[in-house]
Amino acid sequence: MEDFSENESWENWFRRHGPKLLLCARQWTVSMADAEDVVQEAFIRFWRRQRGLSGEPLALLLTSVRRAGLDIARRRVRREAREKSAMAEDSGPNPLFEPLPDGDDRRIAIESALGRLAPEQREVLALKIWGELTFAEIAGQLGIPPNTAASRYRYALAALRRELTAAGCHG
């Protein structure tokens, strides 16, 4: 194997070893596109953090390709399991809340109203109420200003209040 030169550009090094890496990555992926993603991820990781490590550079890179390939395979399996689970859940109504002792009408009205909120409002509402986050924390999570988080929360509450009042739900 050719030695790694500290002065060599990443383009030249990748041109020499890329095809080998792609063949290797293909062993752990289901498509050529996934294999290309694996090689890119592994090469970037190697070039930025691992190329100064002791040992044969190509061997280090092949280990990185293997790890990235196994990671993408695990993500695919988890995604397929989530999708299968979601499809099974979609086969019937799946309530957000436990049934109330005085009947399901109010719960159904609340879930319906929540479902009609703008996704941005519903997201802030969930983080504030169920996540118990401050507006500053919500802003950090969503990459928005704290005032925007607070406004979305107020708008969500107002929309819920209007819908539930119109539906005859009080309290």
Higher pLDDT: 148 or 107? It is: 148
pLDDT tens digit sequence for 126-165: 788 877 788 988 888 888 999 999 999 999 999 989 988 8
The C-alpha angle 15, 19, 25, rounded to 5 degrees, equals: 130
Class of domain 10-89: mainly alpha
The pTM of the full predicted model, rounded to 2 decimals, is 0.45
Q: Tell me the per-residue pLDDT of 62-91, one tens digit each, with 9 for 90 and over.
A: 878 888 888 888 888 888 888 887 777 655
pLDDT, residue 8, reads 67
The CA radius of gyration of the chain, in Å to the nearest whole number, is 26
> Which among 9, 5, 4, 41 is positioned nearest to 25, based on CA atoms?
41
- List the chain domain ranges: 10-89, 105-166
Least confident residue range of 22-31, 32-41, 80-89, 93-102: 93-102
Topology of domain 105-166 in CATH is Arc Repressor Mutant, subunit A (1.10.10)
Equal fold, 10-89 vs 105-166: no
